[in-house]
Amino acid sequence: MASGKSGQRIEPSFGGDDDGDELRVDASDRVTSGGRRPKRTGSAQGGSKRETTARRPGRSGGGRRGSGGGFFGLARRLAYWCIVLGIWGAIGVGGLVLYYGARMPSATSWSIPDRPPNVKILAVNGEIIANRGATGGEALALEDMSPYIPQAVIAIEDRRFYSHFGVDPLGLARAMLTNLMSGRMVQGGSTLTQQLAKNLFLSPERTLERKVQEVLLAFWLEQKYTKDQILAMYLNRVFFGSNAYGVEAASRRYFNKSARDVNLGEAAVLAGLLKAPSRLSPARDPQAAEERAQVVLGAMREEGFITDAEITTAMSQTPTRAKSFWSGAEHYVADMVMDQLPGMIGEVRQDLIIDTTIDLSLEKKAEEVLAETLEAEGGKLNASQAALVSIDGTGAIRALVGGRDYAESQFDRASKAKRQPGSAFKPFVYAAALEIGRTPMSIRNDAPVRIGNWTPENYDQKYRGEVTLADALANSLNTIAAQLVMEVGPQNVVKLAHRLGIDSEMQANASIALGTSEVTLVELTSSYAPFMNGGFKATPHVIRRIATADGTVLYENTYDNPPRVLDPAIVSEMNRMMVQVLTNGTGKKARLPDWEAAGKTGTTQSFRDALFVGYTSNLTTGVWFGNDDGKSMKKVTGGGLPAKAWHDFMVAAHEGLSPSPLFGTTGVQPVFDEGGMAAAGEVPADEFATGSPEAFPEPPAPVDGTAAVEQIRPVEQTGGPIPPAGVGETTGATRRTTLFDLLTGG
């Protein structure tokens, strides 16, 4: 007998069987609140217990041990430990989340980082020339994209995008199973939201901390933004290879079209790139890109986005091929815009829209003309490069081609390369002479002349005797240009050239008559524009307006009120002279049907460079041919390839326009001067007579890789008198003997 607490007595009942005695406490033996046992019925306690035990053999010790075995017992144990492990796993995961989450900044400070600014560059008619910036394209609203693009991306990257909460457990499980079965990483379990979180906030390293943070950020994105907003952010920022971030940049990079206009097959190619942008790029491996696109199309069909008929149509399209770099001459313009932008508005901090002066139809025609000319004749004449710039009377650049092929070379030979213009510089010499009283009908003697240690010769090494200035310019006579420089003074020629628009530094020496100072094609061409527009400066410019994406104007050019740089009478006389260059001079190949045109040829020493700059009342255009390494061409002059290319471009540029004459060329009678000279001191006559090297130094020596003086040869030191014939001025009017006439034998 044992004593219970509080005086209660518990009398255990013992029963015996073959398995041994067992201590039992039946329900009837439980202590009541009063400490008494309930009254029993039936036989004596011992016998009753044994009977009960005999009737319930399952209660025996051996039977109870057997009930814990078998399948159901194993299942119960397995479920139990799974629950235990699950609880501990959840605790562990929660701890990791709390730990790594605590290492992140407060969620209240989280914000979407600004997308790198994009600069959209537009032609004069609103067409897109190019996008510049870190992304390579502007951001588009989801509704502005081709509907095939989001469908393709969702089908191949995140089928349950619109139903999950930022993390897709089913997708993750499927990816894990697929990877285990294949033995390698073939699928990812990240959702589009997770991918966006990684791209926006995290580094690409694969660590547990980064993955936990990615999940937390995905939850935050899903809570803060709508699904459409998340999808739009993803499509505008994801990398598509070839420096293209976002669907707009990728679409223009691979298909040369906006993402607004992408078709089904192209959308499948773009979506396929997300798996491996470099390896699956259509620029690198078109076949691999096409095969991946077909996988995407199959996924789209499974999701019900497209039909079998649409797949058949898309798969019948040929694989998209793209060049290894941006192609098209308009990218020279885009580069020029980006070079000028910081000087106008400072650092680019937001999306910008740049309105330019470029006419894309003229741009394409200019590129086509140069390419065709080089293809047809460049090889046999050893001319490998060309450039063209065309501007209107205000200085607005309408077309610019900086080289043969932008994809091969991005160096802009129109605005950055400085070369000697040769005889294309002579109009400035003649204009300066007209300003001191000379006229197109003034007479000079085409004969050998010495200036210091330099004697210029004509291209054909012939002398024509007395000629008018108009004839001398038309036939590009070097001796006459040299004489005019001496009459005017080299420094005055330089001043006039600067006044008309040449910004480059020039050497004020005698050889400037033949264009020995280097200039760019853009500044040379723009300096001809005052002859076309009646004497006003035409500052070359390509940017009309700079505005933000919301329309705020940051800059607008002010070239609508240019200063006058030439007297209208001088302009009229120059135009009448330069018309003759095309009608009966060195530029005959540039003559235009119906349109009155004027211009000047230019060729540098050893045929290194050839130029033609000319104009109508509508456009001024300059063309250059040569080689980047300065090698000589095979007798290519300014009246050859450049004049022909100029003609072809200008014919196309004036198609459909009504012809109009040049300024001051109609109803004007020729004027004869009276032999007037420059003001005293402008031309030191004594130094001109003695050939003082200090007053008029020799032309600069040619530098390897650059052009040199046109048609200049060293004077043989024979000791004989030079010039042997008279060099001076005779006119049909009353002749007046001057000091210059006496000194030069006139």
Q: Which residues are catalytic?
A: 157, 423
d(CA 463, CA 477): 9
| Beta-sheet strands, E only, within 11-141 | 13-15, 22-24, 118-122, 128-133
What are the C-alpha distances in Å from 183 to residues 179, 186, 187? 6, 9, 11
CA atoms within 13 A on the CB side of 13: 19
CB 474 within 8 A of CB 493: no
CB 401 within 8 A of CB 370: yes
Residues contacting 265, CB < 8 A, separation 6+? 293, 297, 314, 315, 317, 320
Identify the residue whose tokens are 């999950």. 164
Strands 118-122 and 352-356, bridge-based pairing: parallel
Q: What does the CA dihedral 368, 371, 377, 379 come to, rounded to 10 degrees?
A: -170
Tokens of 231: 């999808």
Tokens of 579: 């018309």
Angle at 742 between CA 740 and CA 746, to 5 degrees: 85
The string of DSSP letters for 265-318 reads HHHHHHHHHTT-TTTT-TTT-HHHHHHHHHHHHHHHHHTTSS-HHHHHHHHTSP
Q: Provide the 8-state DSSP code for 239.
A: B
d(CA 723, CA 455): 9
The string of DSSP letters for 671-700 reads -------PPTTTS-HHHHHHT-TTTSPPPP
Angle at 470 between CA 465 and CA 473, to 5 degrees: 80
Buried b (16+ CB within 10 A) or exposed e, 360-392: bbbbbbbbebbbebbeebbeebebbbbbbbbbb
Tokens of 281: 């790029």
Angle at 606 between CA 600 and CA 608, to 5 degrees: 65
Phi-psi region of 324 (alpha: psi -120 to 50; beta: other; left: phi over 0): alpha
CB 553 within 8 A of CB 525: no
What are the C-alpha distances in Å from 129 to residues 331, 333, 349, 350, 359? 7, 8, 21, 19, 10
Helix/strand/coil for 516: coil
CB 662 within 8 A of CB 575: yes
Question: Peptide bond before 670: cis, by omega within 30 degrees of 0?
Answer: no
Identify the residue whose tokens are 């699904």. 227
**Closest to 312 (Cα-Cα) out of 291, 299, 300, 297:** 297
d(CA 230, CA 218): 10
Residues contacting 230, CB < 8 A, separation 6+? 192, 193, 196, 221, 222
